Amino acid sequence: MSGSSLTVTAGPWTVITGASAGLGADFARQLAVQGRPLILAARRQERLEALAAELEEATGVATVVVAVDLATRQGPAELFERATADGRQVDMLVNNAGFGAVGAHLSTERERHLQMLDLNVTALTDLTHRFATHMVAHGLPSHVVNIASIASFQPIPNLAAYAASKSYVRDYSEGLAYELRSTNVAVTCVHPGGTLTEFSAVAGMELTAASEATMMRSEDVVRIALRGVRRRRVHVVTGWMNRLLGWSVAWSPRVVSAHVSGWIMGRLRT
């Protein structure tokens, strides 16, 4: 746990999963500038501690670091307990931790797919259930922010289980947003497209210079996402190219979308 006598601890806390890299680290940077005390979670403790020190130095916000493997059965429970210890009230959960298992389904280790579903689906659901219950109980205006993907829009050959995990996040968030519409808890589901983070390296994807050139910067994706959160949008698709893609998929037969995305995935090197 970090913190000093000069840090800002007033007000409720924000929990960010997957804060050690990419989008999660940028959510932390932009929310710290808003003066929000932060609970930063991921497996790599040193990365989280370095980020916590950077944010405390730059903004004076208090931070708590929780090194946890969320793909385990006890991981989400441990994060919830540590986040709400000492009477802390959490009014924002950013369910961002996730990864993609890329490649032909049968040639990718079964265990890899299962770990991905444990993180992208089970941990996200477990954390949402725990924190949304806590938020309804304390009654402060609160927000659950779930990071899905434009992969949620259609079936994607060679990324089949990942795309399906993100479709789950999309539909789950939308259903929950409706259920909670007359409570103090808003739900926003964010759909980034290709974004320059560690995601491709973790997925084992080799990006060409041309595909990198079409990807967005992580800080821009987070800025758009947080604007949607402020406006209490249920879905936020980041960037006009991704919105165009979402629109074209919505108007295409699913079999056509599957063929097109299969062709695009076939051009990527894994």
Ligand X SMILES: NC(=O)c1ccc[n+]([C@@H]2O[C@H](COP(=O)([O-])OP(=O)(O)OC[C@H]3O[C@@H](n4cnc5c(N)ncnc54)[C@H](OP(=O)(O)O)[C@@H]3O)[C@@H](O)[C@H]2O)c1
Residue numbers annotated as active site: 162
Please name which of 146, 175, 159 lies closest in space to residue 257, comparing C-alpha atoms. Answer: 159
Distance CA 143, CA 129 (A): 13
Map the footprint of ligand X across residues 115-144, applying CB under 6 A: 119
Judged by CB under 6 A, which of 202, 241, 260, 268 binds ligand X? Answer: 202
Distance CA 121, CA 257 (A): 23
Q: Tokens standing for 198?
A: 């560690």
Map the footprint of ligand X across residues 6-45, applying CB under 6 A: 17-24, 42-44
Give 186 or 216: the residue with its C-beta nearer to ligand X.
Answer: 216
Q: Tokens standing for 132?
A: 């949304």
Q: Which residues of 135-156 are buried (b: 16+ CB within 10 A; e: fewer)?
A: beeeeeebbbbbbbbbbbbbbb
63 binds ligand X (CB under 6 A): no
* Segment contacting ligand X by CB under 6 A, of 49-57, 63-71, 130-138, 180-188: 63-71
154 binds ligand X (CB under 6 A): no
198 binds ligand X (CB under 6 A): yes
**What's at 32, amino acid-wise?**
A
Judged by CB under 6 A, which of 192, 222, 226, 239 binds ligand X? Answer: 192
Kind plus residue range of the DSSP H or E element containing 189: strand 185-191
61 binds ligand X (CB under 6 A): no
- CB under 8 Å to 253, separation ≥6 — which residues? none
Map the footprint of ligand X across residues 69-108, applying CB under 6 A: 69-71, 96-99
Give 184 or 198: the residue with its C-beta nearer to ligand X.
Answer: 198
Interface size with ligand X, residues (CB under 6 A): 29
Q: Tokens standing for 195?
A: 């974004």
Give 49 or 198: the residue with its C-beta nearer to ligand X.
Answer: 198
Give 177 or 225: the residue with its C-beta nearer to ligand X.
Answer: 225
Shortest CB 246 distance to ligand X, Å: 12
DSSP state of 119: I
CB 85 within 8 A of CB 75: no
Binding stretches for ligand X (CB under 6 A): 17-24, 42-44, 47, 69-71, 96-99, 119, 147, 149, 192, 194-195, 197-199, 202
